[in-house]
Amino acid sequence: MLYALNAEKIQRVSMKNKILALGIVILLTTICLTSTFPFTHAVGEGQWITAYTIEDANGEVLAEFNSATGVNRTLSSVLPGTEIKVTFTVDVFVSGADSLKLTTSLGKATSHPSGYWELLTEDYDMGSSYNPASVSTSFKWSIGTFDMVLYGKVPTTGSSSAKTVNVVTLTSGSGGTPIDQITVQATSSGLANFNTLYANHQDALENMMANGVDASYTQTYENMLDVAKDIAEGGDPESAVAILNGLDQAGAPPSAGMQAIFLPLIAVMAVLAVIFVVLFMRIRGKLSYFQLVVEDQIKDLEGLTLRASKIDRAMSANLDSVKDRLKRLVGGG
């Protein structure tokens, strides 16, 4: 009986050890797989392409990104058919048995007819497979950091809506899921115009909210901006621009604080209006009597003018002028 209990106890301990050993093996396997295949991270998080700057042909910065400083902003629209220059940094932080590959969806730029790629870091060994004149080029997979420049032309599109362009795609030499990418939204000139106008209205909306403009007005304003954005992204930027142009920034109702300031002024104006009505009622009788007298004089002048026209036309004209002035005075002309 004692032997049986000891055997059962030993069996339980052995099972626990096996489970513990299996857990350790699974954990070590997971760690090894993670370190062996680092390119399973999400695309575009700046782990491999750590920085880039996109410029147009005039050197104006259109977009920039830097994972170290946290900069990630679009400064201007990227228009189809324009030539751009992309300067980017690649951090190859682990080695691999395969090669790496750079690919672009841009066309060849006339400003750089010799090719697409230009390596700025001289001490990084790209290997013999590197071809700067090719739209897609492989290079040696070795640990290090290098800076590269891409010259290209944004492809044209017949659509008015924005189109995603894969400016730079980094993959393993065998292809598959991209390790990292640089993408831009290529927009038409009409959509670019809308984006500029939309940004201005967004700033105006933020200012109205900060100044305490009536909440119902700002909510309606914001709803109209959303409608315009949906229409623009749907491919009709001209109609979207027309909606934005119809928004009245200057006609926003005053804030609650300004309304409180205006209330005493409104009260003063109301009091003055009452006083004016009382005074007007007092003098109305006198004005009516005056009007009747003037109308009688006008009738007399009409008779004199008729008789004077037979004697002296100049005198008749003068009398007629006086008559017209009297009519305007009493509102009858």
Q: What are 113-161's pLDDT values in tens digits? A: 888 999 999 999 999 999 999 999 999 999 999 999 999 999 887 666 6
Mean pLDDT, range 270-297, rounded to an integer: 53
Q: Average pLDDT, stretch 271-296?
A: 53
Q: Calculate the average pLDDT of the chain.
A: 73
Q: What is the pTM of this model?
A: 0.52
| Statement: residue 9 has pLDDT above 50 | no
The token pair at 247 is 């928004």
pLDDT-wise least confident of 112-126, 136-150, 208-222, 290-304: 290-304
User: How high is the pLDDT of residue 69?
Assistant: 93
Higher pLDDT, 211 or 307: 211
- Of 1-10, 68-77, 101-110, 242-251, give the lowest mean pLDDT range: 1-10
Q: How confident is the model at residue 54 (pLDDT cuts 50, 70, 90)?
A: very high
- pLDDT at residue 146 in the model: 97
pLDDT at position 150: 96
CA 24 – CA 19 distance, rounded (Å): 9
Q: What is the pLDDT of residue 316?
A: 57
User: Which of 31-40, 94-103, 202-211 holds the top average pLDDT?
Assistant: 94-103
pLDDT of 183 over the 60 cut:
yes
pLDDT exceeding 70 applies to what percent of the chain? 57
Mean pLDDT of 98-104: 94
What is the predicted pLDDT for the residue at 237? 75
Q: Which pLDDT score, from 0 to 100, does residue 151 have?
A: 96
SS3 helix, strand, coil % of the chain, rounded to 5? 50, 20, 30
Distance CA 270, CA 296 (A): 38
Looking at residue 75, what is its pLDDT? Answer: 84
Of residues 157 and 48, more confidence is placed in 48
CA distance 234 to 227: 11
Distance, CA of 114 to CA of 111 (rounded, Å): 9
Confidence of residue 299 (pLDDT cuts 50, 70, 90): low
> What are the distances in angstroms from CA 16 to CA 4, 8, 25, 262?
19, 13, 14, 81
Do residues 144 and 152 touch, judged by C-beta distance below 8 A? no
For the record, the structure tokens of 14 come out as 């052995």
Structure confidence at residue 212 (pLDDT): 82
The more confident residue out of 20 and 86 is: 86
Question: What is the structure's pLDDT at 39?
Answer: 32
What pLDDT score does 103 carry?
A: 96
